[in-house]
Structure 1
Amino acid sequence: MDRGKRSNNVIANRNNKIYMDLKDIIREHTLPFLPAKSLFRFKTVCRDWKLQISTPFFAHNQSNCFHDVSGLFCQSSSNPPSFISLDPDSYGVPEPSLQFLPEPVDIKTSSNGLLCCQGHTGDKAYYICNPATKQWKKLPKPNANHGSDPSLVLMFEPSLLNFVAEYKLICAFPSADFDNTCEFEIYSSAEGSWRISGEIYFGATNLIPNSGVHVDGIVYWLSESGGIVAFDLTMERSQRLYGHNGCLGVMNGKLTSTSAYNRTLTVSVLSNPYTNTMAMNSRVKAWDIKLTVSMDNNLEFRGISFSELHGFSCPGSLPYNKGAVLFASGDVIVFRSQKTLYSYDLKTKKTGRLCGEADDDIRIIAYVNSLVEI
């Protein structure tokens, strides 16, 4: 009898140890992979979780572990910023209109949880902010005139080795010294200042604002005259790429171009950026088709059939509608039909309605629900 009781006590103690180990594993190795909104809610679970989530080291670790596109900021000339969450239960920000900033702003670009915004008043200053934590920083005034609607790309790559978030803001602006040229100015958070690059790109018309992306240290913008202007931050050299004018994005670490043709979404990946330097009549292609998504009349979602998507199939419309795709990066493609926005998830193969009253000049800026500290 005594031996039996001792055995039960040992089993109980072992079970308690297993439970404690599992709790520690969840706290240390699972929480950093969750989005900011969920983590703020989980602060109420217990005192240990609250203390863990509130530390700067945890915020740094979470910004390195969580990189999923969580939602989309929408910006137009007639309305303040708004936010569409891809999963309202998990992703969100406390003030979608960014009223915590010192003045009304337009969102220009984003990168891994940080937004770059431009103020409406005075010198139209740039602000870097994290909408999840409402932290922000005002950048110094640039050396050059970037124009009324600058072509900006924010570049922030979280690193375990850099406890302080280091980012760069790159602007391509029309040159004041030469016609049909553009120059590049770079802000570095590590240096806290702007610097105009010595590189000048000749033969460029205006670049399309909000079209820029960065991949492996190279920034790409769409040009209004067609093609893509690329700027290598390491070499500080620019070049022009031809062949695609679709919505630029990044999928699996590679530059992609997504376009709409009739009822089909086509995603192409840049496989060879050096075709413009190869011999004439070379058969080497710069772009390869990554995938095609057929939107036929039998495919329905939430009661909406694709025969209603006038951006793809309305009578008299152009067969190629580059304005139909507003965002395509990660696993998410956002496209529009008249005033309605739809999303397509590359993982789940599901399509859904995001917004029913989108402005004609709406811009889509992706957002990652991160705790990164500025």
Structure 2
Amino acid sequence: MDCGGKNKSKFLAARNNKIYMDLKLIIREHALQFLPAKSLFKFRGVCRDWRLMISTPFFAHNQSLSYSSVSGMFFQSHGDPPTFISTDPESCGVPDPALSFLPSPIDIVASSNGLLCCQAKTGDRAYYICNPVTKQWKKLPKPSMEHGLEPAAVLIFKPSLLNFVAEYKLICAFRSNDFDDATEFEIYSSKDDAWKVSGEINFSAKKLIAKSGVCVNDVVYWQSSHGSILVYDMTKDRSQVIHGCYSGHGTLGEFNGKLCSASVNGRTLTVNVISNIYSNTMHMGSRAQLWTDKIRIPLITEMFNVSSYDLFPVLYAGSEIALVLSGRSIYRCDLKTTEVRFLVALPRPEQKGIPYVNSLVAL
């Protein structure tokens, strides 16, 4: 068989075209779902097939399972609408950062894997669950108890391979009306569309810090203003208070499936990981340690040159990165490579933010 001359050129052209077509198929079927929502909205313009596929509920479901990176943070000063600061404005973002599509002005109180929990500023101060990308939202029924002006709320949403309907829970720790200096818990379940007050009452917890809560393996943690951590185990319906191992400007997060506490001490970012939440209840003399010093990252000189503050709040800590604030500048600390670099500048000073994942999850 003669493959020379023109025949060879035609053979190579056909072969290259096949590789190109295979590459397009691979990207469409196996890569797109790992991209953030803003990028996917742009890619709908590539061709009709991509537009149709990205618009399907099945693709949205797969993307919510596949993409879990923190895409930025929502910030909100008192009395102002929220704003969104993206870790990568070209690929991650939301069309309406002020969330004006909701029926009333709101405060963002929690987030989880693409969903936000917001509370109305006025009226019955209703809770709303929404996806800021798709602008879908749901108003939750009125809770049985009063949660206060700054609820210590934690939203829990875990995308499930077999469940196309987003099922989530909202856990609120609130000061008891019946017992002085006691903390109670009320839980909303989307599966039941109802609130339930837990029978658990904690008499040791001090004032909790709003927007400080995280959930790790069905255990919820809140920072208190006194430096301790309130722990509520949803499976056992039990609570306890443990010592924090963080400064007032640190944050709680999840590091490889365990609770972590991240704070800046001197010129170093320190990430501690909890080893056993029950070690503080063991007998005296036990050598069990509650926290393990996991990671120490030296901060770069630039952070201290641009800031007139001595405090460097940690805005977020996860398995891969931590976000540290220096003045109005956010720096990204890679927990694997220990690289520290400037990320973005805020328009005004902030102290606390809500981390957000740019997901297509449907409500």
Query: Structure 1: which amino acid aligns with 2:200?
Result: E
Distance in 2, Cα, partners of 1:281 & 1:2: 85
Query: Structure 2: which amino acid aligns with 1:352?
Result: F
Query: Who is 1:56 aligned against?
Result: 57
Query: Structure 2: which amino acid aligns with 1:169?
Result: L
Distance in 1, Cα, partners of 2:84 & 2:3: 64
Query: Structure 2: which amino acid aligns with 1:44?
Result: G
Query: Who is 1:116 aligned against?
Result: 117
Map 1:157-168; keep pairs closer than 5 Å: 157-168=158-169
Query: Structure 2: which amino acid aligns with 1:260?
Result: V
Query: Who is 2:322 aligned against?
Result: 333
> Compared with structure 1, are the counterparts of its residues 344 and 18 closer, same or farther at alpha carbon in structure 2 (3 Å cutoff)?
closer
2:286 counterpart of 1:282: yes
Map 1:196-345; keep pairs closer than 5 Å: 196-245=197-246, 246-295=250-299, 299-300=300-301, 304=302, 306-312=304-310, 324-337=313-326, 339-345=327-333
Q: Is the 8 A contact 1:63 1:158 kept in 2?
A: yes
**SS where residue 363 of structure 1 aligns?**
coil
Q: Is the 8 A contact 2:101 2:135 kept in 1?
A: yes
Alpha-carbon offset, residue 282 of structure 1: 2.0
> Compared with structure 1, are the counterparts of its residues 263 and 311 closer, same or farther at alpha carbon in structure 2 (3 Å cutoff)?
farther
Q: Percent identity?
A: 56
Alpha-carbon offset, residue 335 of structure 1: 3.0
Map 1:349-368; keep pairs closer than 5 Å: 349-352=339-342, 354-359=344-349, 362-368=351-357
Q: Report the TM-score when normalising by structure 2.
A: 0.92
Structure 2: which 5+ residue stretches go unaligned?
none
Q: Is the 8 A contact 1:53 1:59 kept in 2?
A: yes
Q: Is the 8 A contact 2:104 2:120 kept in 1?
A: yes
Number of residue pairs aligned between Structure 1 and Structure 2? 357
Distance in 1, Cα, partners of 2:127 & 2:231: 23
Q: Is the 8 A contact 1:332 1:343 kept in 2?
A: no
**SS where residue 53 of structure 2 aligns?**
helix
Q: Is the 8 A contact 2:186 2:196 kept in 1?
A: yes
Query: Structure 2: which amino acid aligns with 1:204?
Result: A
Alpha-carbon offset, residue 311 of structure 1: 3.4
Distance in 1, Cα, partners of 2:110 & 2:192: 21
**SS where residue 309 of structure 2 aligns?**
helix
Alpha-carbon offset, residue 334 of structure 1: 2.8
Distance in 1, Cα, partners of 2:264 & 2:137: 37
Alpha-carbon offset, residue 240 of structure 1: 1.3
Query: Structure 1: which amino acid aligns with 2:53?
Result: Q
1:315-345 CA-to-partner distances (Å, cap 9, x unmatched) read xxxxxx5x722332343323334x4232223
> Compared with structure 1, are the counterparts of its residues 36 and 167 closer, same or farther at alpha carbon in structure 2 (3 Å cutoff)?
same
Q: Report the TM-score when normalising by structure 1.
A: 0.90
Alpha-carbon offset, residue 176 of structure 1: 1.1
Alpha-carbon offset, residue 356 of structure 1: 4.5
Distance in 2, Cα, partners of 1:355 & 1:123: 36
Map 1:165-204; keep pairs closer than 5 Å: 165-204=166-205
1:45-75 CA-to-partner distances (Å, cap 9, x unmatched) read 0000000000000000000000000111111
Distance in 2, Cα, partners of 1:242 & 1:305: 29
Alpha-carbon offset, residue 274 of structure 1: 1.4
Q: Is the 8 A contact 1:334 1:343 kept in 2?
A: yes
Alpha-carbon offset, residue 353 of structure 1: 5.1
Distance in 2, Cα, partners of 1:243 & 1:147: 24
Alpha-carbon offset, residue 80 of structure 1: 1.3
Distance in 2, Cα, partners of 1:61 & 1:103: 31
Query: Who is 2:157 aligned against?
Result: 156
Distance in 2, Cα, partners of 1:278 & 1:2: 82
Distance in 2, Cα, partners of 1:161 & 1:305: 45
Distance in 2, Cα, partners of 1:283 & 1:3: 76
Distance in 1, Cα, partners of 2:211 & 2:180: 23
**SS where residue 21 of structure 2 aligns?**
helix
Q: Is the 8 A contact 1:243 1:287 kept in 2?
A: no
Query: Who is 1:315 aligned against?
Result: none
Structure 1: which 5+ residue stretches go unaligned?
313-320
Query: Structure 2: which amino acid aligns with 1:306?
Result: F
Aligned-residue RMSD, C-alpha: 2.0
**SS where residue 147 of structure 2 aligns?**
coil
Q: Is the 8 A contact 1:243 1:286 kept in 2?
A: no
**SS where residue 311 of structure 1 aligns?**
coil
> Compared with structure 1, are the counterparts of its residues 213 and 44 closer, same or farther at alpha carbon in structure 2 (3 Å cutoff)?
same
> Compared with structure 1, are the counterparts of its residues 263 and 53 closer, same or farther at alpha carbon in structure 2 (3 Å cutoff)?
same
Q: Is the 8 A contact 1:311 1:324 kept in 2?
A: no
**SS where residue 261 of structure 2 aligns?**
strand
> Which segment is superposed worse, 124-133 or 348-357?
348-357
> Compared with structure 1, are the counterparts of its residues 121 and 211 closer, same or farther at alpha carbon in structure 2 (3 Å cutoff)?
same
